[in-house]
Each structure stands twice: as C-alpha cells, then as structure tokens.
Amino acid sequence: MKKFDPATELSKLEQFGEFGGVNPSITDSATFTFLEAGTMVDTFHGEAEGCFLYSRHWNPTNKYLSDALAAMEGTPSAWVTGSGMGAITSAILQLCNSGDHIVSSVTTYGGTYAFLKNYLPKFNIDVTFVIPTDLDAMKKAIRPNTKVIYTETISNPLLQVSNIPEMAKIAKQAGAKLIVDNTFSPMMVSPYKLGADIVVYSMTKFINGKNDAVAGAICGTEEYINSLIDVNSGTAMLLGPVLDPLRSSNILKNLYTLHIRMKQHSKNAMYLAERFVEDNIKVIYPGLKTNKGHELLKSMMNEEYGFGGLIAIDLDTKENAYRFMEKMQQKGVGYLAVSLGYFKTLFSNSGSSTSSEIPEDVQREMGMSPGLVRFSVGLDNDIERTYQIIKSCY
C-alpha cells in the first residue's frame, strides 16, 4: 500500500487565478449572477455543477481552500468556517437530533467541553465523557442512540494520544460517526486515512500559523459536506458560520508552507522536551519514548513531520506557573497568551485559561495539574539559546 503524504497530495493540486495568476483570485462577492433563471433554480436544489449562488453557501475562494484541505487530508471534500468552534459545532449538530447521544473525550479544548456539557442539553442531546485512552470505557459508554464519538488526535492540554483506528471500529460497530479534531497534528496524522469519518480543525492554529485570522474546517465525504450546506437542512448553511474570502485566500497561501513549519515546530519541541527531562522537570510530550502515547502515535503518524509542537510541563501550583510564565515573557522567550501554532512560542496555564470551562474537580479527575503550563513551541532558529533562557526562569 502506497504511503499517504499530505504535503505531496497538496502539491499535486493546481489552482490558478482567473487571469492566470499563480495565486487563485479572491472573490469579493456575496452573491453571484446567473445567465439563465433555470440555472439559479438548479443551484438552489444542488443540481448545478460549478455554479455559485451565495457566499454563505459557497464562493470560489473558499472552494479553493476547501479543495486544498481535502487533498491534504485525503478526504473527498471539505468546507471552511469562520472559526474552529464553527466547524466543531456544525459538524456535530449535523449528525445529532434531539434524543441522541454522544461519547466524547473528556480532555478536549475548553470551548468544545462547554458546548458538549452545557449547550447541547438545551436540545436534549446527552453526552458521556470518557478518558480518551480508555477504550473499554468508550465501549461501555455506547448506547443504542449514540450517533457520534468525538475525540482529539492529541488532546488539549494533556497531550493524550487517541487510538483512531480502534475508535473507528467502535464507532462503526455502534453505527455512529467518529469525529476527530486534528488541530494539534496537521500533516503529522491523517485521521480520515485511519478510519475517522470527519476531521475538524481550528485553522487559526498551525494551519494558518500567524495568529492573524480565526477560521475552521470540516473534512469528510462529499455526501456529508453536501448535507452540511443543503439550503433546507444544512447546519452550516442555516447557522451561517461562513469564512470571509479574503481570510480564506490568506490561509490558502500559508497552507503551502505548513509541512516546513510542522517539521521545525516538532524539532524544537523535541529538543526542549529532552532538556526538560534532563532538568527533572515533569514534562508531557508524546515524542519522548517514556510517554504512554509514544508508540501509538508513532504507529499512526506520518513520521517526517515529527511529534508536534506542543509540550506541557507540570510546576505543581498556579503560583509557580504564573511566576515562570511571567519571567519567560520578560526575558523574550515568547508570549503569555492563549492559542497555539504561532511562529513565536506561546505559553499559558491551561487550567485557568483554555480549559477554564472545565470545572476544577473534573480537571483533577482527568489528571490536569493546577500548575500545568502548555507550550506551543515556535519556529526559533536557535532553540538552544531559547532553552538557556527558559532554564534561567525555573
């Protein structure tokens, strides 16, 4: 079986501007004209190939980016949204109705947890949370009305590795769909190729890489994507989380350097993780051979992209974490800020920031220390120097 390589598949895609520009043109139109009235009717019914109706549905610029993402993921189709949460919520709501059930990893992005735990009960959709590494618990949580299993390839912020092939089997046996958030591991892991039904992203992070845009993506089959944007019943069409075409164009250009950036993020993160171990700092990084998820991730990953740019270290208390992060920012290591995938290093105390929606007792149950500091390691050319500065902040 030929190995799937996301960067190679992306490079095969040729997209030109309408006047031969090496970059696809930006469509600055909310609505589109038709030469014949009948074609407009056909487009409303989804029966007109290559026609655009209204930018909430499709526009050419968003289609360019969607096609590139589908090539990268190995999915037949994709659709882009105005935020990562727009992608996550639309993907889930398209599959679930009142009375349905979801099994989800408990270690997820805080916004995802809040949507599943606090928002979905409005619609009588029940969610059971499990530790993503406990496949037996996942199997036991399945009910006759389970429609979705939701996980993150590498969990936020504990960096637990999900066994996507096994989860795909559990989902298939249950007649459910497996949705995988691959935000932490683009190109590193290809969830659809491992059996996932739907792959979602916050493109705000590594895919765009500049923290100058908020965006999301949903990758899946043509049938599923078409259902999302159906004018009568499509969640994405009717809730309207459309991505602005100018942002879409910018992200598309950044996408073509993602393979280079992921390799450097991973290289730098591995270097820091190994140094932290030598300094007896409690560190979580799936690239370390001692990490529980190391062998599993190695079996699923596209190896040339490394083990990713996220590291978590445990400093026991919030006070220790706060002092450490403030010192690092003062000394120029990077920024005390949420988000990740930026070209500079970002760090935050997860329990009081991106996971703050998760109650403290649940944080403790899932193994999140109050002193956990999550690093999104940047593209530093001299990571050895960066490490020496970090060391001076312990």
**For the residues 326-331, what does the mean pLDDT come to?**
98
Sheet of 310-314, strands arranged across = 282-284, 310-314, 372-376, 345-349, 334-336
Residues 254-280 have pLDDT tens digits of 999 999 999 999 999 999 999 999 999
Among candidate residues 328, 369, 8, 47, the one with its CA nearest the CA of residue 187: 8
Residues 62-101 have pLDDT tens digits of 999 999 999 999 999 999 999 999 999 999 999 999 999 9
Residues 194-240 have pLDDT tens digits of 999 999 999 999 999 999 999 999 999 999 999 999 989 999 999 99
Q: For the whole model, what pTM was predicted?
A: 0.95
Among 51-65, 75-89, 242-256, the minimum mean pLDDT is found in 51-65
Three-state secondary structure readout of 237-300: HHHCCECCHHHHHHHHHHHCCHHHHHHHHHHHHHHHHHHHHHCCCEEECCCCCCCCCHHHHHHH
* CA–CA separation, 381 and 266 (whole Å): 13
* Residues 123-156 as b or e (16 or more Cβ within 10 Å = b): eebbbbbbbbbebeebbebbeebbbbbbbbbbbb
Is the separation of the CB atoms in 153 and 192 below 8 Å? no
- Domain 6-255 CATH class label: alpha beta
Supply the pLDDT for residue 210. 96
Phi, psi (degrees; rounded to nearest 5) at 339: 80, 180
Residues above pLDDT 90, as percent of the chain: 86
Pairing of strands 198-202, 77-81: unpaired
Supply the pLDDT for residue 365. 82
Architecture of the domain delimited by 258-391: Alpha-Beta Complex (3.90)
Cβ-in-10-Å burial (0-12, 13-18, 19+) of 351 comes to buried
* pLDDT confidence bin for 2, thresholds 50/70/90: low
* pLDDT confidence bin for 352, thresholds 50/70/90: confident
Which tokens is 114 given?
């809040």
* CA–CA separation, 132 and 112 (whole Å): 15
Supply the pLDDT for residue 35. 86
Element (H, E) at 38: helix 37-44
Domain boundaries, the chain: 6-255, 258-391
Pairing of strands 146-152, 126-130: unpaired
